[in-house]
Structures are given as C-alpha cells and as structure tokens.
Amino acid sequence: MREVIQQAEDTPLGGALTSATRFSLRRVMGAVLTTLLGFTFFNALIGVFGLSAAVIALLLFLALAVLIFRRPQTERAQHET
C-alpha cells in the first residue's frame, strides 16, 4: 500500500489514490441518485424560471462544486484519509 501511495505522489493528481479505493455499490447508487436529483431540479428550474436562468444556476452550481472540491483540507481531515 505504501508503494501505491509513494507512486501516486509522483502523478499529476498529486496524492490521489484512485486505484486503492474499493468498488462500493452504495457509492454508485448515491452517485446515480444524486445525478437524477440534479437532473430533476434542473428541469424544474427550466420550467419555472426559463432556460437562461437554469443555465446560469447550473454554471454557478458547477463552479461552487469545483471550489468545494479544491478547498484545502484541514490537518485533521488529512490524517483521517
């Protein structure tokens, strides 16, 4: 495992351990349900506010998701992973 971590630090993704994570049916189901929920809300936005407002809301959501994903981890969170 340490060899995987050591090799992962040399990759463009930094310390991302994509190959070391296990397949989880719960995680897949969560991703599918979240996608369907997002699709439903996006269509509701189109119906209520129109296409331009829905596209702006979608772009804002994506920008916030990227900012949250890229935020620096606290010292405690880094040791737990």
The string of pLDDT tens digits covering residues 2-59 is: 555 555 555 555 555 555 567 788 888 988 998 899 889 888 888 999 999 988 988 9
Q: Which of 33-37, 60-64, 72-76 is the least confident region?
A: 72-76
pTM above 0.75, yes or no: no
* Total number of domains in the chain: 1
Print the domain residue range for 39: 2-80
Give me the pLDDT at residue 63, please. 92
Burial (0-12, 13-18, 19+ Cβ within 10 Å), 71: exposed
Write down the pLDDT at residue 61.
Answer: 86
Q: Tokens representing 66?
A: 């990227």
Please say whether the beta carbons of 4 and 19 come within 8 A. Answer: yes
